[in-house]
Amino acid sequence: MIRKTALALFTAALAVAPAAAQSYRDRLPEDEVLYFLLPDRFENADPANDRGGLTGDRLVTGFDPSSKAFYHGGDLKGVLQRLDYIQALGATAIWVGPIFKNKPVQGPKGQESAGYHGYWITDFTQVDPHFGTNTEFKALVDAAHKRGIKVYMDIVVNHTADVIQFKECGDCAYRSRADYPYQRKGGTSGGPINPGFAGDDNHSAANFAKLTRPDYAYTPYVPEAEKQVKVPAWLNDPIHYHNRGNSTFAGENSTMGDFVGLDDLMTEHPRVVAGMIEIFGGWIDRFGVDGFRIDTARHVNPEFWQTFVPAMLARAKAKGIPNFHIFGEVADPEVAALAQHTRVDKFPAVLDFAFALAVDEVASGKGTDRLAKVFAADVLYEGGEKTGHRLPTFVSNHDAGRSSTFIKQALPKVSQAELLQRVELAQAMLLLLRGVPTIYAGDEQGFVSDGNDQDAREDMFGSKVASYNDNHLLGTDTTTATPSFNPAHPLFREIAMLARLRTSHAALTRGRQITRFASDKPGLFAVSRFDPKTGAETVIAFNTSPEPWTGNIQVETRSTAFHTLAGACPASAAAPGSLPLSLPAFGYTVCAAGASK
């Protein structure tokens, strides 16, 4: 009863006003607070779909709630059932992990795992039966939209499930274009094939019409039982794949090799380009979704994105979605590598891995200048600082791991109390600094993962995975063995407060940001953000040290009076251009210039 009351209070406090709900389409990408979840690990509202309509053991159905590598039962009805919770957290958009129909189980004998994560797609047109139906996804999107909450889909273009096999080997090494050219079978000394094919740099339909045989590097085949498993049907033809063996994620094979055995689509092929535009344009047309997170974006040739991204934006605009948010996953902490994909591939935004690393390091006690360097490099992105504001930022995710885990690894002797303080600080940086803050489900309930990938994909509903349930969570004595939807959790309350603060102040969503102070040591990091219409200044300061900090921060000379938005702020500047502040250990403050409204 206490939890229900707390949830009701938060829902009432953070509910989207009717006017906002009517105008959610008008919000810019940087106006959002994203909440990212994997449907299988979020909430199980319909146990009838746990096995995806399949019969047999876990190697057939993919269902084993006691194993971190298999389906656990979460579904789209579960997300719909928890919209109150998500809204109470202050999220304005939900990024849903891939929901397309997957190959239930794959992997060599003894190393099998399931497609619970959604990245082993066989049917690009249907929701996976483990998660529900297309109708249920439509119901979720419609219900979210009625609340003014956007829905982003996680999509995959680089690869499909592992269906294509090679006659020469099982786990096949990559074979390059130089050693295995398209016009020879099985190497430079092989017989001539594909006469007249000018190579994959010529993307014309006329050129690719001459590529008729896929056996230039290996001899691909599809097992009889899976010959028609992929949808749309054109995906079943090996000619639409690179068929060169496994990627090492470097050089040529970064875009042409199989991602750990997954069938790598030949995204240079005009049939693949047109097919993918039709597939994902169809999801926009039918469901009216608000954005795409694009998986493995760096492993696709730039020319594909240069065509695909504008096509998706045009499709969305025709559907009445003017601010469709597209961002690619480029898993690299170097800003130059991230920025390259906005300049060459023409992505409107990419996930900000540089920000994630910097925040987790700063929250672990590294110098605060690491954050300053990330923001100073925003000029490298196509569009500069404006693009920086549209980069989804995060401190935890389902692939790399959780902020709490990184901090604990950096400070193995840290107490639970101090770890919670440092994690709260990291979340404050996420929600107050430039970018589009993305909360990973479980962070608001104090999850501390054992590592990355499967170890960072804990259940929000009561888990049966022993390696999840033995984790010491932050801010609570409970474990993941019981449902984790407590609105009274200290991290939930902090995130809810900051999310509401952010979305109610334009300086914190769209405002220009300048760094006021950073150092090569732990301690103060401070920025000013400016209201895009009035120019009013908001000062945000963080103390990453276990010791209190007191001093002065430079501000605009016109900023003379201040009021507190979070923390504790003085009523006025000490002198023109100087704001005195005192921050407790691991504390932060948000001070707005001008009279309180």
**Residue 278 designated active-site:** no
CB-based contacts of 532: which residues, under 8 Å, 6+ apart?
Answer: 506, 507, 510, 511, 512
* Active-site position among 31, 43, 329, 369: 329
Mean pLDDT in residue range 135-142: 98
The pLDDT of residue 132: 98
Closest CA to 360 of 309, 316, 422: 422
Provide the phi-psi class of 499: left if phi over 0, else alpha when psi is between -120 and 50, else beta.
Answer: alpha
Q: Mark 384-397 as b/e (b = at least 16 C-beta within 10 Å).
A: eeebbbbbbbbbbb
Neighbours of 13 (CB within 10 A): 12
510-593: CATH architecture: Sandwich (2.60)
The pLDDT of residue 5: 41
Provide the phi-psi class of 249: left if phi over 0, else alpha when psi is between -120 and 50, else beta.
Answer: left
pLDDT at 555 over 90: yes
Query: pLDDT tens digits, residue range 354-394?
Result: 999 999 999 999 999 999 999 999 999 999 999 999 999 99
Query: CA angle 73-119-395, nearest 5°?
Result: 85
pLDDT at 405 over 60: yes
Query: pLDDT tens digits, residue range 277-307?
Result: 999 999 999 999 999 999 999 999 999 999 9
Integer angstrom CA distances of residue 116 from 41, 75, 102, 222: 9, 10, 8, 23
Query: pLDDT tens digits, residue range 506-539?
Result: 999 999 999 999 999 999 999 999 999 999 999 9
Residue 65 phi/psi, 5-degree rounding, is -65, -10
Please give the distance of CA 201 from its chain centroid, rounded to a whole number.
Answer: 31
Beta-strand runs (E) in 45-109: 93-96, 100-102, 105-106
Name the pLDDT band for 7 (thresholds 50, 70, 90).
Answer: very low
The pLDDT of residue 9: 40
The pLDDT of residue 21: 43
The pLDDT of residue 411: 98
pLDDT at 275 over 60: yes
127 within 8 A of 104, measured Cβ to Cβ: no
**Cα distance between residue 473 and residue 481, in whole Å:** 11
Mean pLDDT in residue range 470-483: 98
Mean pLDDT in residue range 191-220: 98
* Active-site position among 295, 345, 443, 494: 295
The pLDDT of residue 170: 87
87 within 8 A of 149, measured Cβ to Cβ: yes
Name the pLDDT band for 597 (thresholds 50, 70, 90).
Answer: low
Question: What pTM value is reported for the model?
Answer: 0.95
308 within 8 A of 345, measured Cβ to Cβ: no
Q: Where are the domains of the chain?
A: 510-593
Return mean pLDDT, the chain: 95
**Residue 168 designated active-site:** no
**Cα distance between residue 414 and residue 131, in whole Å:** 39
1 within 8 A of 62, measured Cβ to Cβ: no
